[in-house]
Amino acid sequence: MDFVTYGMFSRDQSPTPLANLYGVHPFYMCVEDDSNAHGVLLLNSNAQDVSLSPNPSLTFRTIGGILDFYVFLGPTPENVIQQYTEAIGRPHMPAYWSLGFHLSRWGYASLDVVKKTVKRMHQYDIPFDVQHFDIDYMDRRLDFTYDKTNYAGLPEYIKELKTEGMHSVIILDPFISKDEEPGTYRPYDLGQEMGVWINNSDGVTPAIGKSLPPGYSVFPDYTNPRTVEWWTQLCLEFKDVLDYDGIWIDMNEPSNELTGQLPGCAANDINNPPYIPSITGRSLAQRTLCPDSRTYLGEHYNTHSLFGWSQTAPTFHVVQQATGKRAFVLSRSTFVGSGKHAAHWLGDNNSKWKDMHYSIIGMLEFNLFGIPFVGADICGFNSNTTYELCLRWTQLGSFYPFSRNHNAEGNAAQDPAVFGAEFAKIARSTLRIRYSLLPYLYTLFFESHVHGNTVVRSLMHEFTSDQQTHGIDTAFLWGPAFMVAPVLQEGARSVDVYFPEATWFDYYTGKKIPSTWHKTYATVHAPLNKIPLFIRGGHILPEQAPASTTTKSRLNPFGLIIALDEHGEASGSLFWDDGDSIDTIENENYFLAKYTFRAGRLTTEILKNGYRGADSLKYHKITILGLKRRPHAVAVNGRAVRSDSFSFELNGKLILGISAPLTQELNLAIH
């Protein structure tokens, strides 16, 4: 709050403190002195800035649009976000496969390099669901083409990945080359015919800029219904060429190498307003189009920051139309409400330790913005990573909601299989923890989609009245119950972890954290092969035996981790459906169970049993943490369990092997 000013105007700008970045979210949440929270949104897409002072005060300055303020009264941080997403649109329900591990890079150079990379991932048995294809798959970086020399056989390879239970995501950029031979480049010819471009200030001639494709480019205007038709048609046609499962939309701020379009921006008050907010370069046209360009909705001056947002929904709808399944759309530029249709990655970060730390902050922010499906480029995008940085980042990235390793052209390969056997072993074991907890993560996304909850949240979110949690941005929670405390410093083999007042258990051992560690920082051992993870008492987490892909893991047996609080109680739930059909919740084609443990008994209430695919699934393992004494008898669904089917450890951990159908109510009694 120390007289800092943040500019907001979407920009192709790699993450830099105080710079205006890819998206615009004029929303803040405030925790008051009495620990009640409220939120405020200024729904305004014009260039703006906000100044914070220690008064405390916030001053919004916007250079156009409507002063449309929404106030959300909480009173808890989670209530604020539930109310905010009710107003702006709930987050979409992701496809289950998209919660697996994604691999990408710009600059594979050829399909052979992709194949070698995928092969070594499989040789090390590293869990891996999704292969991305960046602009190098294209013919000379032209949208809706592929390079038939370096990527010869790409359509067949994408089909081959499908048969292995994997998925593919292709990138599409928003600019379209205008300088190909007439009649040879259909996306441009069809766009010309349909009149889909952003125009110059005359409203007639297309705005011409420069970006990745050869020659000069024009820019589709996604606020125009004709453009949506054009984009839909091309994406559907391209599905017949490359059998993609999802689309990644990039550079949609929109990015442009010029300052404005040819021949430059006219000297007027729209292009050079009397006040320019605190944005990079202090020019509204830098790296984008002139503000007096015309879109279907009006001047670019007003609609610039809506470009990525306006591209997202049409892309989401066409992916669903093309695949007949739940869409995966990954967008770089976002605006208020983008979470309804898109996942987001945090942009062109650097392979630096501080950037790894920043990624936690970005992930927490986007959960406040109603875009919980978020992550950063694991190991960093720009410059070369190091063995230790990439290893620690892989451990952290295994717990991003959107988990993808991605880097830039010209850098050394950094996939988890390239560093050798020891690195691969650690990556494999950490990703297997992620995959085993995917039923819990998926259930959190269900609660996000239906109720607007955050998926990842800060410790402050859950322990608001504990002042010490308010500044913690080095650890985070999945939902209310699972704490991730990554190593963020080079050479460190321990982490100082703050434990708020609650019962906590070490994920690996099931051992209870000593009460002397509560409300204080404790030094936790973190050798190179381990990321510290903790489970909060009072919660039940569904789990499932992991596998190399979600296609395989979804067939595996389930388990429950029951972490007891100080009263010996816990509760939780499991949401399950086929993972990729559209509107399973609306159509009631899902399974939902609520688990309650108290007084030595687990009871299950099946709230919905509408998914027949769950009938063949079973519970095989129940883990209970925090038991006060060794049980002398255990019964499952009224039948005694043989003593050799369970083991008890002195730290209060009971592991029980069972075989019980998922879709029948599971009842457990411990005596």
Q: Which residues are catalytic?
A: 250, 253
CB distance 210 to 216 below 8 Å: yes
> What is the amino acid identity at position 234?
L
| CA pair distance 328, 94, nearest whole angstrom | 7
Cβ atoms within 10 A of the Cβ of 72, count? 20
Tokens for 301, please give them.
Answer: 């001056």
Which of left, alpha, beta for 43 (phi over 0: left; psi -120 to 50: alpha)? beta
Residue that is written with structure tokens 């990408």 in the block: 104
In angstroms, the Cα distances linking 111 to 125, 226, 286, 409, 580 are 21, 35, 36, 15, 28
Q: Tell me the residue type at 534.
A: F
Q: Residue 583 is encoded by which pair of tokens?
A: 């509107």
Going along 599-638, which residue ranges are E strands? 601-609, 618-625, 634-636
Is the CB of residue 20 less than 8 Å from the CB of residue 10?
A: yes
On whether the CB atoms of residues 177 and 191 are closer than 8 A, the answer is no
At residue 499, φ and ψ (nearest 5 deg) are -110, 105
Residue with tokens 């992930």: 363
What are the residues facing 634 on neighbouring strands? Answer: 670
**Cβ-count burial 200-229 (b if 16+ within 10 Å, e if not):** bbeeeebbbbebbbeebbbbbbbbbeebbe
Distance CA 624, CA 474 (A): 28
Q: Is-cis flag, bond preceding 263, omega within 30? A: yes
